[in-house]
Amino acid sequence: MNATLMADATHSKALPDLVAKLLTVRQESLVLYHKLTVLEPSAPASLAQRLLQQFRQTLVDYLALGPFEVYQALEDQPADSPYRPARDLARRLYTRIARTTQTALAFHDRYDGDLSEPILTCLNQELSQLGESLATRIDLEDRIVAAIRRSGAVLAA
């Protein structure tokens, strides 16, 4: 029985930490996204390429944190866990979140390698489309984060 209690305590502490990590990496991605969107067309191509590379890496880190860490930690919770409502919500929203992942990965792959001038001319339009997808993802994630925090409050009480 002690092993069960210790496992629950471990997961209880891990989920809030994972959520904090997710939100931090998401913020880093959004800051780089914003820098790309306000980049002047006259800016050196090397600056655009460097920012784009940083953004792409941070974006992949952010995309992976949800399914591979936060959602997996929710799935690992026992059936009677206070995190059950958050897990159930994540299950319901996962398909929609996965669609945003596919959109972001397509963007990531499109801007892999050498970036010629014609490819960079499409960047603003594609950033706009990516931004819409990320906004949807953030809305869905925020609902899950709120459910995790409510469950964490139950554990703390």
CATH number, domain containing residue 82: 1.20.120.1370
18-60 pLDDT, tens digit each: 999 999 999 999 999 999 999 887 888 788 889 999 999 999 9
| 140 confidence band (pLDDT: 50, 70, 90) | very high
Burial level of 30, CB count in 10 A (0-12/13-18/19+)?
Answer: middle
Read off the pTM: 0.84
Which domain, by its residues, includes 12?
A: 2-156
Q: How many domains does the chain contain in total?
A: 1
